[in-house]
């Protein structure tokens, strides 16, 4: 059964920004990645983390519940010549059923906040190597120009979670700006939260990991300014389940055209710039 992320998958794969090179340098340093390790990417989406990690590992297991996300990632892996990635359909509640080999590093995107944050580290304890660990990677960005939400509200209604002033329901507000998926849902990849970085969520991640067997926790952040073309901004809206193509139906192209014109009217040079903050919380077992 397809999840709400199906129609967003092609846009997610094409338009979500990559994580900075410094993130992978950190993982190489912390986990001695030299091409001989095995990596698990929980909530892989279309491989936003899996694909850059493939050249650094012997094998990567990319796990996600959405077939469309896995198909996008598989296609990108073939294009990039990454034949060492296994694309597996599964969720956070079924780690033990994946029959994985010994894992040296597990990476998780912003969907960690909507997993069972007590059970997942406990389940990973059974598959992670003694010197292995978890890296939870999240991203947040300053809000888009107000015209983005205004145009969306005209098409989807003022009560929509992404409308100006709307309050997300219990399932809304994933760390990547996507509405919450089914229990244990993982589709994530590169996050895209509107608004300032959620320090409460970051602290919550650190607290849960610190109480797990992986209690040695350290967070590193990077901040950068990213410039987007108008077409990229439009594509990014379709990468979010709160404004995925399926929600617009046959009005999708009309929404894209109206949003593109509103952005051109707002951005004199045809580009928008946002500050993006990426955080990597690395958790390992205490040294003995």
pLDDT one digit per residue (tens) for the chain, 288 residues: 456 689 999 999 999 999 999 999 999 999 999 999 999 999 999 999 999 999 999 999 999 999 999 999 999 999 999 999 999 999 888 898 999 999 999 999 988 988 999 999 999 999 999 999 999 999 988 889 999 999 999 999 876 655 444 444 333 333 333 333 333 334 433 444 444 447 888 999 999 999 999 999 999 999 999 999 999 999 999 999 889 999 999 999 999 999 999 999 999 899 999 999 999 999 999 987
pLDDT computed for residue 167 by the predictor: 41
pLDDT computed for residue 165 by the predictor: 46
Contact call for residues 204 and 281 (beta carbons, < 8 A): no
pLDDT computed for residue 287 by the predictor: 86
DSSP string, 15-80: HSPPPPHHHHHHHHHHHT-SS--EEEEET-TTTTTHHHHGGGSSEEEEEES-HHHHHHHHHHHHHH
pLDDT computed for residue 131 by the predictor: 96
d(CA 141, CA 131): 33
What's the pTM value of the predicted model, to 2 decimals? Answer: 0.87
pLDDT computed for residue 5 by the predictor: 86
pLDDT computed for residue 268 by the predictor: 84
pLDDT computed for residue 138 by the predictor: 92
What own/partner pairs with CB < 8 Å and gap ≥ 24 does 209-212 have? 209/117, 209/121, 209/134, 209/136, 209/281, 209/283, 210/283, 211/118, 212/118, 212/121, 212/122, 212/125, 212/283
């Amino acid at each position: 059964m397809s999840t709400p992320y199906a129609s967003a998958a092609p846009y997610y794969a094409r338009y979500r920004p990559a994580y900075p090179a410094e993130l992978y340098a950190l993982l190489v340093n912390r986990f001695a990645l030299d091409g001989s390790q095995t990596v698990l990417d929980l909530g892989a989406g279309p491989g936003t983390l899996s694909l850059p990690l493939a050249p650094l590992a012997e094998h990567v297991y990319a796990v996600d519940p959405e077939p469309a996300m896995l198909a996008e990632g598989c296609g990108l892996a073939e294009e990039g010549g990454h034949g060492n990635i296994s694309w597996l359909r599964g969720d956070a509640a079924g780690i033990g059923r994946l029959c994985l080999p010994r894992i040296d590093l597990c990476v998780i995107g912003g969907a960690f906040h909507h997993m069972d944050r007590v059970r997942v580290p406990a389940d990973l304890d059974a598959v992670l190597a003694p010197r292995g660990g978890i890296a939870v990677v999240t991203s947040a960005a300053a809000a888009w120009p107000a015209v983005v939400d205004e145009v969306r509200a005209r098409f989807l209604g003022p009560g929509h979670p992404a409308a100006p002033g709307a309050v997300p329901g219990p399932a809304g507000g994933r760390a990547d700006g996507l509405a919450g998926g089914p229990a244990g849902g993982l589709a994530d990849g590169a996050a895209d939260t509107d608004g300032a970085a959620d320090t409460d969520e970051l602290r919550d991640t650190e607290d849960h990991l610190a109480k797990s067997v992986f209690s040695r926790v350290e967070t590193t952040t990077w901040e950068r300014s990213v410039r987007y073309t108008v077409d990229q901004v439009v594509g990014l809206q379709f990468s979010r389940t709160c404004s995925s193509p399926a929600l617009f139906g046959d009005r999708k192209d009309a929404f894209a055209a109206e949003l593109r014109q509103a952005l051109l009217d707002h951005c004199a040079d045809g580009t928008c710039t946002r500050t993006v903050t990426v955080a990597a919380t690395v958790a390992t077992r205490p040294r003995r």
